[in-house]
Structures are given as structure tokens and as C-alpha cells.
């Protein structure tokens, strides 16, 4: 027997005729329908068309939901859709018309609004899969960037990172990977927007020693660790004895230490990939969104590590927070390998990959994944953006003169990390050697703001603006990193006529000084 939904009929009558209507409409956002008193009163004078307007739930969404459940939808005497039409549309590929493509940014905006209002992310994810399952990664990237250009805050747009991995979700891990690969390959073949015809990422990923090879191996190591430790944290912690909960503290603390090591992977992306995409290739939206999520993952892991030090036993709330950040790390893997890496592979030039390779050597191994030799890069010289090869004579200065190699050796011997940013906010110089704050060679001749995460950029702009306007000349910041004390000093650099010519950043290891004064005041407590 045909099941028929008339949009003009009262919701009470529809629910009485078809009890499953209650669940369908509840899932659509009509929460009051499960309240018997509301259904028996307001439900008798309310129909679906009025409810759609009141709840701001699109009518096409409502119609589709009923049709997918086997209902024929009518508007009075006019038949709108039968169940068979949905299957036909799916098979024929409808949903990708130019008109619908233009409407996608607005659909994304509505999804984000629902998340902002606190709606369950899994529910939003379901709708995202339904509306965007046939959309290639390039189009999602374009929509993200478009939303940002229209004025939507980054903090809101980045929520898409929690949702659009749903494109690649399947029942099993193998299915997820297969779906992701299909989506990327389809996007590569289309060759539109940010993903243009070029070498496929897969080729570079398989090239031993290539930066994308190393990034991918790090992801495989993370996946293996997450899978290895998964079972324990999927359990419910109800019924566990107190001593069992206490025993889990050390186990969880050790896991957090391991996962925080993956911050090296995120740091490399932030230093080597995102800024190049943004500055040279004008692909800012996706890189900013992912960069922000990277930072949030690192911050959350740090918060959990600090919190666990104050816990006497593991509780359910803490575990839920831990599960959530593990999920975000897993989802970021799919984004990297199916959006970010293909984008980089199809944009970056060979010489840029070579420089990324050499800059990567300054980072510690991530998850015990060592940087393999990349034969092609080892046969080339590093990009020399600091000096003109022909200018090998002496450098004459008011205080004397030095040969180029003497000046380099001198600057590298100073026990301070030096960075100079010129008056146009361009990175011009940093000395070499081991550094607390990594400075990749590729950052030279790049705007300084592009080298900082989105959350830090406003502070950097403020400091430089104050220096340029003469509001201040120096800003010292004390901080701890890796258990050691450092002094980071920002100084305005001015010429003889007091004109601003740039900003100097100096990073000093203060551990020896701290220990000196600790011993001194032990001997001279009266001076405290």
C-alpha cells in the first residue's frame, strides 16, 4: 500500500496514520513532536509547510527525508515526489547542476549555524554526507575560502574540519580509505579551481625521501598507534573499581606523551606547507582552517596532560575529551592525504620540494619516523636566497669589514637566535644552527605574518605596528619551552635618523643564568 504524506495535512493526523512520522520529523529538527501534549494540541493545527517556515527547515530537505523513507509526498492534489525519484536522481548524478553548486556555500553556512547553536555533530554530519557526497575536495576548499572572504570568522569556518571528513567515511577502515582515494582521484581528473592538472600526489608519496613520503609515513605511524590503543578507551568506565581507575592514570598519561610527540608533524605543516600555499599560490582558506585545527589538537593534548596531573582516577568526562581529540587527529589524516597533500603536489615546484626536504632535517623525528635520503634532492644545492653568488667580496660596515664567510660564522657563533624582519614586514635574515623556534630557509623573503598560526598573527601585527609608530622600542617575553627558560626579546631597529627599518627578534637560553642566580641566592639569602 502506498504511503502518502500531504504537506497540508495536520502533523497530528500524519503521526496517527504513520507513527514513523514522529521519528522522521524529530530527526529533521521538530523536537516538540515527541512531547505528547504538544502533538495533541499544536500538532492538530500545524502542518508541515507552516512548520518548515517556523523552524527554518528547508522544504526540500523535509521532502527528501520522507521520500527516502518510502513516502510519496503531495501538496494537496499535486504529487511532488515518489520514492523512486530519489534513486533515479542518485543514479543519474543529479545534485551537481550549476545552480546547486552555487547554493552550496549557503548550505555550508547553514550547517555551520547549526553547529554553532550546539546541535549534535553526528546529526550535522549525516546531512553533510547527504548533500555533499558527490562534491570533490576542490569544491569544498573553494566553498571554505569563499565563506572566509565573505567575512565569516575563521573560528566558525574551521568547524567544517570536524564535518567534511564525512565525505570519506565508510563502514570499515578499508572502506574509508577506498572512498577517500576515489574522491581525490575524481577531483584530480576534473582539474578545476585549486587542484589543477599536474603530477598526482600518489607519485610523490611513493618517492622514498620526498617530504610527502615522510609526512605519509608519520600518518601511518599515528594510525597504527591509535589503532593499538583504541580498545581500552572505547570501554565504558562504569563499574570499574577505584584501584582500576587509578591504574589507568599512568597508562593514559604515557599515551598523551606519545600523542603530543605528533606535534612535530603539525609544526612542519605550519612552517613548510601552509605559508607557501597562502603566499605564493593564494590558497589561504583551507590552509588557515587546517592550521587552526592543528593548533587546537595540540592545545587540547596539552590541557589533558595538565589535567591528568590533578586527577586521582580516570573519569568518564576526561575520557570523552580524550576520545574526541583522538578522533580529530584521525580525521586530520584524511584531510591531509586527500585535500592538503594533493593540493601541494599539484602546485609546488620541484625546487620548492627540495628546499622543504632540507628544512625538514631541522626537525626531530616524529613517531620514530626518520627522514630518508631523497636522492634527487641530495644531488642539488639548497636554495640560496640570502646571498648573490657573485658577491663574494668583503662587506664593508662603519665598524670594520668582514668576508662573507667570516660574517656568517660570527653570526652563527652568537649564543642567540636572531631573526630580522624588514620595514615591509618581510623576513630577511636569521642565523643558522639548532633553534628553539624553527626557521625554515623557505621563510626568507616571505611576509612574517604568514609564518605564524592564525591565533598568533594579531599579536605579531600589534607588536610591529607599535614599533613602526614609535609607541615602543622593546618587548621582552619570558617563557618556558621543553622545561627550559627562555627570554624572547623583540626590538625595533632604527637608523641614525631614528627611522624604523625593521624588527629584531632575539631568543636567549636563560637556563645557565637561572642556575647561576639560584646558587648565588643560596649563598646570599639576605639579598632576597
For residue 335, give the nearest of 191, 127, 160, 113 by alpha carbon: 160
pLDDT recorded at residue 340: 87
pTM of the model as a whole: 0.58
Q: How far apart are CA 279 and CA 206, in angstroms?
A: 27
Q: How far apart are CA 465 and CA 471, in angstroms?
A: 9
Measure the CA–CA gap between 405 and 32, rounded to whole angstroms. 76
Q: What is the pLDDT of residue 51?
A: 83
- CA 417 – CA 505 distance, rounded (Å): 8
CA–CA dist 516, 520 (Å, integer): 6
Pull the grid cell for residue 279. 603566499
Compute the CA torsion angle 444, 473, 295, 138 (nearest 10 deg).
-50
Please give the pLDDT value at position 343: 84
CB 138 within 8 A of CB 190: yes
pLDDT value of residue 363: 92
> Within its chain, how far is the Cα of 380 from the centroid?
32
* Most distant CA atoms of the chain, gap in Å: 98
Span between the terminal Cα atoms of the chain, in Å: 91
pLDDT along the chain (528 residues), means of 10: 85 91 88 81 81 78 86 79 52 45 66 73 68 59 67 66 52 45 45 41 88 95 92 64 76 91 95 90 75 91 90 78 90 85 88 93 91 87 44 74 89 93 95 84 90 88 95 94 90 94 95 90 82
**Is 428:420 a contact under the CB 8 Å cutoff?**
yes
Output the pLDDT for position 230: 84
* pLDDT at position 427: 94
DSSP state of 384: -
pLDDT at 93: 41
What pLDDT sits at residue 121?
64
The owner of cell 591509535 is: 226
Average pLDDT over the chain reads: 79
Q: What pLDDT is attached to residue 459?
A: 92
Sketch out the chain's domains with CATH numbers. 3-92 (1.10.3910.10), 98-375 (1.20.120.520), 414-515 (3.30.450.20)
Q: Residue 259 is placed in which grid cell?
A: 600523542
The number of angstroms, rounded, from the C-alpha of 440 to the middle of its chain's C-alpha atoms is 20
pLDDT for res 120: 72
What pLDDT was estimated at residue 219?
94
Amino acid at each position: 500500500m502506498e504511503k502518502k504524506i500531504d504537506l497540508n495535512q495536520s502533523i497530528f493526523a500524519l503521526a496517527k496514520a504513520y507513527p514513523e512520522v514522529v521519528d522522521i520529523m524529530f530527526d529533521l529538527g521538530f523536537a516538540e513532536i515527541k512531547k505528547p501534549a504538544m502533538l495533541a494540541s499544536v500538532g492538530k493545527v500545524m502542518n508541515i509547510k507552516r512548520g518548515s517556515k517556523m523552524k527554518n527547515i528547508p522544504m526540500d530537505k523535509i521532502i527528501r527525508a520522507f521520500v527516502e523513507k518510502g513516502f510519496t509526498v503531495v501538496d494537496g492534489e499535486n504529487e511532488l515526489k515518489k520514492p523512486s525519484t530519489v534513486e533515479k536522481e542518485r543514479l543519474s548524478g543529479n545534485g551537481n547542476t550549476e545552480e546547486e553548486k552555487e547554493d552550496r556555500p549557503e548550505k555550508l553556512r547553514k550547517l555551520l549555524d547549526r553547529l554553532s547553536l550546539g546541535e549534535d555533530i553526528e546529526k550535522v554530519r549525516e546531512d553533510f554526507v547527504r548533500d555533499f557526497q558527490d562534491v570533490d575536495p576542490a569544491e569544498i576548499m573553494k566553498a571554505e575560502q569563499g565563506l572566509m572572504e565573505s567575512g565569516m570568522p575563521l573560528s566558525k569556518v574551521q568547524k567544517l574540519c570536524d564535518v567534511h571528513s564525512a565525505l570519506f567515511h565508510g563502514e570499515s577502515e578499508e572502506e574509508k580509505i577506498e572512498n577517500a582515494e576515489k574522491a581525490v582521484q575524481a577531483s584530480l581528473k576534473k582539474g578545476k579551481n585549486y587542484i589543477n592538472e599536474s603530477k598526482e600526489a600518489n607519485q610523490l608519496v611513493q618517492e622514498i625521501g620526498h617530504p610527502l613520503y615522510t609526512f605519509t609515513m608519520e600518518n601511518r605511524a599515528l594510525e597504527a598507534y591509535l589503532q593499538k590503543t583504541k580498545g581500552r578507551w572505547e570501554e565504558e568506565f562504569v563499574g570499574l573499581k577505584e584501584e582500576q581507575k587509578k591504574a589507568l592514570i599512568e597508562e593514559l598519561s604515557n599515551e598523551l606523551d606519545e600523542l603530543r610527540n605528533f606535534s612535530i608533524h603539525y609544526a612542519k605543516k605550519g612552517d613548510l606547507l601552509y605559508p607557501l600555499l597562502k603566499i605564493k599560490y593564494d590558497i589561504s582558506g583551507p590552509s588557515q582552517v587546517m592550521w587552526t585545527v592543528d593548533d587546537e589538537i595540540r592545545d587540547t593534548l596539552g590541557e589533558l596532560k595538565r589535567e591528568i596531573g590533578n586527577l586521582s582516577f580516570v573519569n568518564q568526562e576526561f575520557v570523552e575529551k580524550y576520545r574526541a581529540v583522538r578522533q580529530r587527529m584521525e580525521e586530520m589524516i584524511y584531510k591531509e592525504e586527500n585535500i592538503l597533500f594533493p593540493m601541494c603536489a599539484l602546485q609546488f615546484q620541484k625546487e620548492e620540494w627540495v628546499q622543504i626536504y632540507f628544512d625538514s632535517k631541522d626537525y626531530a623525528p616524529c613517531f620514530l619516523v626518520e627522514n630518508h635520503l631523497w636522492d634527487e634532492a641530495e644531488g642539488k644545492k639548497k636554495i640560496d636566497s640570502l646571498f648573490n653568488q657573485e658577491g663574494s667580496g668583503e662587506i664593508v660596515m662603519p665598524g670594520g669589514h668582514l668576508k662573507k664567510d667570516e660574517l656568517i660564522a660570527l653570526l652563527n657563533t652568537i649564543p642567540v637566535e636572531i631573526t630580522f624582519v624588514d620595514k615591509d614586514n618581510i623576513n630577511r635574515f636569521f642565523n643558522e644552527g639548532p633553534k628553539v623556534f624553527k626557521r625554515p630557509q623557505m621563510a626568507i623573503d616571505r611576509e612574517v605574518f604568514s609564518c605564524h598560526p592564525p591565533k598568533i598573527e594579531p599579536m605579531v601585527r600589534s607588536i610591529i605596528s607599535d614599533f613602526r609608530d614609535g609607541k615602543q622600542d622593546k618587548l621582552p617575553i619570558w617563557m618556558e619551552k621543553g622545561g627550559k627558560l627562555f627570554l624572547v626579546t623583540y626590538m625595533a631597529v632604527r637608523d641614525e635618523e631614528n627611522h624604523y627599518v625593521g624588527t629584531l627578534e632575539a631568543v636567549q637560553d636563560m637556563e645557565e643564568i637561572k642556575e647561576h642566580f639560584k646558587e648565588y641566592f643560596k649563598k646570599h639569602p639576605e639579598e632576597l
